[in-house]
């Protein structure tokens, strides 16, 4: 959960909106949490920097995909972050795909 908190801090720093955390521990053998957020391209690129700085000593960033195109995916091993432009988030309906998965309050 510490990694989720650090990821949420980075998302807050870049002013990402509509942030949701899904608890995947009972639903996926590959990761424990999915974080979904909305941000523009500039905010998404800034997020990469915040994550690299904030996690470099404690956690591994396994991969970053989609730096352009409205959908950024950051693989932190047990946590996966999906940052969409508002248009792409609506288009893919990603939150609908996770309907029924337990959400964790981020406030």
| Torsion sign, CA atoms 29, 37, 21, 74 | positive
pLDDT value for 12: 95
Strand 33-38 relative to strand 79-84, pairing: parallel
Average pLDDT over residues 83-89: 95
Fold held by 2-104: Beta Polymerase; domain 2 (3.30.460)
Question: What residue segments make up the domains of the chain, in order of their start?
Answer: 2-104
pTM passes above 0.75 = yes
Question: How crowded is residue 18: how many other Cβ atoms within 10 Å of its Cβ?
Answer: 12
pLDDT value for 87: 95
Average pLDDT over residues 55-69: 87
Rounded distance between C-alpha atoms, residue 4 and residue 96, angstroms: 21
Average pLDDT over residues 82-89: 95
SS3 78: coil
């Amino acid at each position: 959960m510490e990694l989720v908190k650090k990821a949420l801090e980075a998302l807050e720093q870049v002013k990402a909106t509509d942030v949701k955390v899904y608890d995947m521990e009972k639903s996926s053998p590959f990761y424990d949490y999915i974080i979904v957020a909305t941000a523009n391209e500039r905010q998404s690129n800034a997020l990469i920097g915040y994550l690299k700085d904030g996690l470099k000593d404690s956690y591994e960033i396994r991969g970053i995909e989609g730096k352009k195109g409205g959908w950024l995916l950051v693989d932190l091993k047990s946590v996966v972050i999906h940052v969409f432009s508002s248009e792409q988030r609506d288009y893919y309906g990603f939150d609908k795909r996770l309907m029924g998965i337990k959400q964790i309050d981020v406030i």
